[in-house]
């Protein structure tokens, strides 16, 4: 007797790749053994975007995979327009799969007369999608800005599994965070890797991207250092941190981060640092010229298999939390 197909009340999975995440979307599709659905994306001379689906999605479970890295506003509008197109075509359910969520650092009013743009972004996604998925939000509380349910996933086990394989070659490794906002997560890294933890105090001097590393809490002299952070944007924070740990007697330095924003000349800036290895994920694709700057010191770990599994479970109405316990 043939295997009974598990039917989902939200229809079959339909995967759509946004233009910012095509490599990741292809990997997810391959893992699920499903095609990427065809659609046209047109940019008119006035810069307005237009989307047309190649076939109907009525009654189907649709996933739009689109990260919101540079060019941020184009990619974000493309995401919203694609979500709306699917909704208007009577999809049973539409999920925004946004591996890197833009504006996540604008998550509070920490000075008078400023916006909370992460809330605005969440509102706009919530207005067009039924659900969302994202990775390693800058602050967990951003989940509360969404009025739709979502899966905020973590690349923690992907990164720590890789680091565990490197540990035997490290000398007295210590996990260090360059950002006190990342301290709890850094502690989880240290616990998982069974290493001590040290913290760098960093201050931003204005609303521009400048960061200054002030001092270190913890012992790093004569240790290999694993510097962890959620994202590297201009590379300013991490460059300061590397100089500081070297000044305090660190041996080899490894830089581990989730989101490779790598704005401006960050890639060249990082590549010039005395760092043994850079390890990150593919929530944001790294353009070949930027990747080339790192040579063989860059390792990009994929989130595709995890995301594919989560999409499958979401479609089948199975627990995603249980996946992380398995
Ligand atoms: C800050 O809060 C984040 O955790 C990162 O430390 C920050 O985004 C890095 O920015 P940059 O690379 O521009 O210093």
pLDDT at 209: 56
Q: Is the dihedral of CA 289, 294, 297, 302 positive or negative?
A: negative
Q: Is 237 in the pocket of ligand 1 (CB under 6 A)?
A: yes
256 lies in the same domain as 310: no
Query: Which of 6, 27, 164, 202 is an active site residue?
Result: 202
Residues 6+ apart with CB under 8 A from 296: none
User: Within 13 Å of residue 220, how many CA atoms lie on the same side as its CB?
Assistant: 29
Quick one: pLDDT at residue 179?
84
Residue-number span of the structural domain to which 237 is assigned: 156-301
Element (H, E) at 267: helix 266-271
Strand positions, DSSP E, the chain: 13-17, 39-43, 49-53, 61-65, 93-98, 131-135, 150-153, 174-177, 197-204, 211-217, 225-232, 253-260, 277-281, 298-301
Pair 162, 222 in one domain:
yes
Mean pLDDT by 10 residues, the chain (326 residues): 59 98 98 98 98 98 98 98 98 98 96 97 98 96 97 97 98 94 94 97 66 82 97 95 95 98 97 98 98 98 98 95 77
Per-residue confidence (pLDDT) for residue 6, from 0 to 100: 57
Let me know whether 168 and 63 are in one domain: no
- Do 60 and 140 belong together in one domain? yes
- Cβ(176)–Cβ(245) under 8 Å? yes
136 lines ligand 1 (CB under 6 A): no
Q: Are residue 168 and residue 253 in the same domain, yes or no?
A: yes
3-state secondary structure of 63: strand
Residues 149, 174: one domain? no
Predicted local confidence at residue 120, as pLDDT: 98
125: CATH: 3.40.50.2020
Whether 149 maps to a domain, the answer reads yes
Instruction: State if residue 301 touches ligand 1 by the CB under 6 angstroms criterion.
Output: no
**Ligand 1 lined by 231 (C-beta under 6 Å):** yes
Q: Which atom of ligand 1 is nearest to the CA of 233?
A: 12
- pLDDT of 1: 43
Does 214 lie in the same domain as 77? Answer: no
Which ligand 1 atom is the nearest neighbour of the CA of 261?
12
What distance in angstroms lies between residue 166's CA and the mean position of ligand 1's atoms?
Answer: 25
Q: What is the pLDDT of residue 207?
A: 63
How close is the Cα of 196 to the center of ligand 1, in Å?
A: 23
Q: Are both 182 and 275 inside the same structural domain?
A: yes
pLDDT, residue 2, reads 47
Q: How many domains does the chain contain in total?
A: 2
225 lines ligand 1 (CB under 6 A): no
Residue 26: inside a domain, yes or no? Answer: yes
Structural domain contains residue 4: no
Residue 128: which H helix or E strand, with range?
helix 117-128
- The Å distance, Cα 299 to ligand 1 centre, comes to 20
Same domain membership, residue 295 and residue 187: yes
For ligand 1, atom 10, name the residue with the nearest CA. Answer: 233
**Is the whole model's pTM more than 0.85, yes or no?**
yes
- pLDDT at position 60 is 98
CA 173 – ligand 1 centroid, Å: 23
Candidates 243, 244, 274, 275; CA nearest to 257 is 275
Q: Ligand 1: which atom is nearest the Cα of residue 232?
A: 12
CA of 27 to the centre of ligand 1 (A): 28
Are 200 and 148 found together in one domain?
no
Q: What is the DSSP letter of 171?
A: S
User: Is ligand 1 within 6 A of the CB of residue 96?
Assistant: no
- In three-state secondary structure terms, 97 is strand
- Residue 105's pLDDT is 95
Atom of ligand 1 nearest to the CA of 237: 14
Q: Which of 132, 137, 37, 126 is nearest to 89 (CA)?
A: 37
Question: 237 CA to middle of ligand 1, Å?
Answer: 6
Residue 39 sits in the same domain as residue 173: no
Q: Is 202 a catalytic residue?
A: yes
Q: Ligand 1: which of 185, 213, 237, 266 to mutate, most ligand atoms within 8 Å of CB?
A: 237
Asked if residue 107 has its Cβ within 6 Å of ligand 1, the reply is no
């Amino acid at each position: 007797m043939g295997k009974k197909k598990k039917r989902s009340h939200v229809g079959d999975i339909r995967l759509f790749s946004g233009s910012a995440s095509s490599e990741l979307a292809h990997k997810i599709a391959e893992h699920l053994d499903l095609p990427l659905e065809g659609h046209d994306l047109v940019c008119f001379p006035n810069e307005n975007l237009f989307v047309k689906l190649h076939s109907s999605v009525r009654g189907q479970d649709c996933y739009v995979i689109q990260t919101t890295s540079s060019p941020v506003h184009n990619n974000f509008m493309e995401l919203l327009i694609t979500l709306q197109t699917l909704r208007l075509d009577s999809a049973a359910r539409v999920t925004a799969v946004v591996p890197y969520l833009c504006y996540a650092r604008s998550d509070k009013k920490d000075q008078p007369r400023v916006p909370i743009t992460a809330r605005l972004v969440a509102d706009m996604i919530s207005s067009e999608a039924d659900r969302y998925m994202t990775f390693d939000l800058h602050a967990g509380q951003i989940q509360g800005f969404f009025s739709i349910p979502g899966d905020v996933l973590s690349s923690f086990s992907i990164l720590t599994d890789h680091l565990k394989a490197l540990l035997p070659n490290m000398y007295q490794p210590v996990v260090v965070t360059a950002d006190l906002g990342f301290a709890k997560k850094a502690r989880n890294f240290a616990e998982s890797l069974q290493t001590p933890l040290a913290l760098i105090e960093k201050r931003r001097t204005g609303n521009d991207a400048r960061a200054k590393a002030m001092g270190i809490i913890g012992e790093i002299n004569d240790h290999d250092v694993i510097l962890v952070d959620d994202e590297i944007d201009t590379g300013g924070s991490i460059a300061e941190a590397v100089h500081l740990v070297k000044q305090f007697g660190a041996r080899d330095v490894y830089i581990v981060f989730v989101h490779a924003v790598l704005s401006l000349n960050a890639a060249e800036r990082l590549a010039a640092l005395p760092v043994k290895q850079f390890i990150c994920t593919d929530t944001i694709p790294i353009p070949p010229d930027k990747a080339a700057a790192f040579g063989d010191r860059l390792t990009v770990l994929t989130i595709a298999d995890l995301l594919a599994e989560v999409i499958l479970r979401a479609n089948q109405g199975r627990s995603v939390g249980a996946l992380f316990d398995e």
